[in-house]
Amino acid sequence: MLFASALSTAFTELLDIEYPVVSAPMADVAGGRLAAAVSRAGGLGLIGGGYGDENWLRREFDRAGDARVGCGFITWALAEQPALLDLALSYRPAAVMLSFGDPAPFAAAVRASGARLICQVQDLDQADRAVACGADVLVAQGVEAGGHGCGRRTTMTLVPEIADLLAARDSTIPVLAAGGIADGRGLAAALMLGASGVLCGSVFYAADEALTTPAARAVVTAATGDSTCRTGVYDVVRGYRWPAGHTMSVLRNAFTDRWHGAEAELAAAGDPVGAQYRQAVADADYRTANVTVGQAAGLIRAAASAGDIMAGLTAGAARLLGSRSGG
C-alpha cells in the first residue's frame, strides 16, 4: 500500500497508529469529539487540558468514548493543579503531551501509566531537557505555529536541527514538526526534514468537530498568513500569567490593533475592557474576540470534518512522496 509505506514512521510504530499526524491539544478548542475523530481517521487526537478545568476534562474524555486518544497540558498551569494529571491518566490516554514549562516533575507518572510522554519544545535547550527527563516523543514547534510559543525559531530549521541533535546521541526518539503545516505538502516536507510526523493545530481549529464557532471558522478560511500576529494582549485581558517570553499567534483584528504594544495600558484598563472581551466571545464577535491560529491560516480554504482534513493531509503527502520515489 502506497500510504502505508510512505507514511509509516518511527512515530506511527511507537504509537501503533496508521498515519503520522497528531491534532494539537488546543486549550478550549480540542475536545473529545475532535480528538476521537482524528484518532478514528488513523492519526492521534489529543484533548486540550489547557489551563485546567476538572469538569471540562472529564466531559471531554467522556465525549471521546472508546476512541484511543491522548491529552495535553500547559505545563506551568498543570503545576498549579497537579491532580489533573491523575484524572487524565485515569482515562488511560495513549499519550500525554506537556508544553510550556518543566516536564520533569510529571514525567515519571506519565511513563509509569503506560502513556507515551510527548514534550513540545521551541529550542535546543528545551529539547535537551525533555530528553533528559525521559520524553518518548519531541514536538519541535516553530514560531509559525498557532496559539502560544516562545523564541524565534522556525519549523524549517528547528526540526532538522533537533533531528540531528538526537541522531548525534544515537537517540531513536521521534520528532514531530509543528507550526505552519496544514496540507500534504507540509506533511511531506516535515518528513523530508527528518521529522517522523506532524502535530497540527490551526487546520483542526477549522474542523467541524472543534469547539470553535462557525463564525470563527469562516474568519479563518478567509484569512491569509499575513493576517496573523504574535501578541500578549489576550493573555492580559484574560488574566493568564504566562511566563515571560511567551506570545500567542492570533488573527489581527480591531482589538489587537488597539492594544498590541499597549499591554500595560490594557492591564490598567481593568474590568470594563475585560467585560467587553467576554461579551465579544459570547457574541462570536471576532473584531474583539480572539481567533487563535498561526500562519497556516492562509492554507485553510474551507471548514471540513476532521476525517476529511486527515484524508487531505495523508493522501497529499503520500502522493508527493510516492512521486518522488517514482512509486
Cβ neighbours of 108 (radius 10 Å): 12
Contact segment (CB under 6 A) with ligand FMN among 61-69, 111-119, 228-236, 287-295 equals 287-295
Q: Does 72 sit near ligand FMN (CB under 6 A)?
A: yes
Minimum distance from CB of 318 to ligand FMN (Å)? Answer: 20
Q: Does 24 sit near ligand FMN (CB under 6 A)?
A: yes
Q: Does 103 sit near ligand FMN (CB under 6 A)?
A: no
Could you give the count of Cα atoms lying within 13 Å of 307 in the half-sphere of its Cβ? Answer: 5
Minimum distance from CB of 29 to ligand FMN (Å)? Answer: 5
Give the footprint of ligand FMN on residues 193-212 (CB under 6 A).
199-202, 205
Closer CB to ligand FMN, 42 or 147, in the complex: 147
Closer CB to ligand FMN, 174 or 180, in the complex: 180
Euclidean distance between CA atoms 251 and 227, whole angstroms: 6
Closer CB to ligand FMN, 89 or 309, in the complex: 309
Q: Residue 181: is it exposed, middle or buried by C-beta count within 10 angstroms (0-12/13-18/19+)? A: buried
Among 32, 52, 93, 179, which residue sits at the site for ligand FMN (rule: CB under 6 A)?
Answer: 179
C-alpha cell at 143: 514560531
* SS3 assignment, position 281: helix
Among 18, 60, 136, 144, which residue sits at the site for ligand FMN (rule: CB under 6 A)?
Answer: 144
Contact by Cβ (8 Å): 216, 70: no
Which own/partner contact pairs does 212-216 have at CB distance under 8 Å and 24+ positions apart?
212/29, 213/284, 214/303, 215/284, 215/286, 216/284, 216/286, 216/289, 216/291
Closer CB to ligand FMN, 42 or 179, in the complex: 179
Which run of H or E residues covers position 318? Answer: helix 306-324
Q: Does 57 sit near ligand FMN (CB under 6 A)?
A: no
Residue numbers at the binding site for ligand FMN (CB under 6 A): 24-27, 29, 48, 50, 72, 74, 99, 120, 141, 144-147, 178-181, 199-202, 205, 292-294, 296
